[in-house]
């Protein structure tokens, strides 16, 4: 098994084999939370306009996401795991979610152009991702840390990539050092400084929880859409 770690939009476009696209803050921490609430599946879209077009056809869809970190006017929820966690889970049961974000979702869409298989990645999903990869034993694994808006390295994504690689038998991982670098970095501080309401301080706490789920989330193209489904281990 050849494991390659890369970053940002170029990394996603260059991904080959079984690919893990990582967005810790916050898209792919929100995604497994939604599946734990019982959503049927989710649809990844590139733009808010794509999401609105889908909702026009099916008003029961739930729109979740952001542009530049900020909630999108007309969407049901922003890109905040703490906001989702504060809701009654029953509102998501059996529903279809449309997710649009500036990093993780765009990275997954880009990776699907050339990768054999794409999984959504975060700390919450890391152990299950490693177990899934071990079970499939692919020749090539690409792990892509999406960073901030596809353009700027984000330590939470880089450390998550290291953690998954470590679980696959490549390299060392020190969670204490990871937390030290992540928490004091400007990306986490956006939340902790409480300057903008759509960066709640509870979000990093939730996003840095490891190994919470016993499933993986697999993105694939179906009938002109990119659909995410839950794959039990």
pLDDT digits (tens, 9 = 90+) for 57-116: 999 999 999 999 999 999 999 999 999 999 999 999 999 999 999 999 999 999 999 999
The CATH architecture of the domain made up of 2-232 is Alpha-Beta Complex (3.90)
| Helix or strand holding residue 229 (H, E) | strand 225-232
Whether the CB-CB separation of 118 and 231 falls below 8 Å is answered with no
Confidence at 45, pLDDT banded by 50, 70, 90: very high
Does this model's pTM top 0.95?
yes
Q: How distant, in Å, are the alpha carbons of 65, 71, 176 from that of 173? A: 31, 34, 9
Q: What is the pLDDT of residue 202?
A: 98
Question: What mean pLDDT comes out for the span 127-147?
Answer: 98
What is the rounded end-to-end Cα distance, in angstroms, of the chain?
20
Confidence at 10, pLDDT banded by 50, 70, 90: very high
Domain boundaries, the chain: 2-232
Q: How distant, in Å, are the alpha carbons of 9, 36, 123, 126, 180 from that of 212? A: 27, 10, 8, 9, 21
């Amino acid at each position: 098994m050849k494991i390659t770690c890369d970053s940002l939009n170029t990394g996603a476009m260059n991904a080959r084999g079984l690919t893990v696209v990582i967005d810790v803050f916050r898209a792919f921490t929100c995604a497994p939370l939604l599946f734990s609430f019982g959503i049927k599946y989710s649809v990844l879209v590139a733009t808010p306009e794509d999401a609105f077009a889908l909702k026009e056809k099916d008003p029961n869809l739930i729109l979740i996401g952001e542009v530049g970190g900020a909630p999108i006017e007309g969407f049901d929820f922003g890109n905040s795991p703490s906001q989702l966690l504060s809701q009654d889970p029953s509102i998501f049961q059996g529903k279809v979610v449309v997710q649009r974000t500036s990093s993780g979702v765009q990275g997954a869409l880009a990776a699907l152009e050339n990768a054999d298989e794409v999984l959504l990645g975060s700390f919450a999903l890391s152990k299950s991702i490693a177990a899934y990869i071990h079970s499939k034993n692919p020749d090539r694994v690409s792990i892509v840390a999406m960073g901030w808006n596809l353009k700027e390295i984000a330590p939470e994504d880089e450390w998550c990539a290291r953690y998954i690689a470590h679980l696959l038998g490549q390299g060392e991982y020190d969670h204490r050092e990871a937390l030290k670098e992540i928490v004091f970095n400007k990306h986490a501080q956006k939340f902790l400084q409480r300057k903008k309401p759509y960066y709640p301080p509870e979000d990093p706490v939730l996003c840095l929880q490891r190994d919470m789920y016993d499933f993986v989330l697999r993105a694939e193209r179906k009938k002109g859409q990119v659909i995410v489904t839950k794959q039990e281990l």
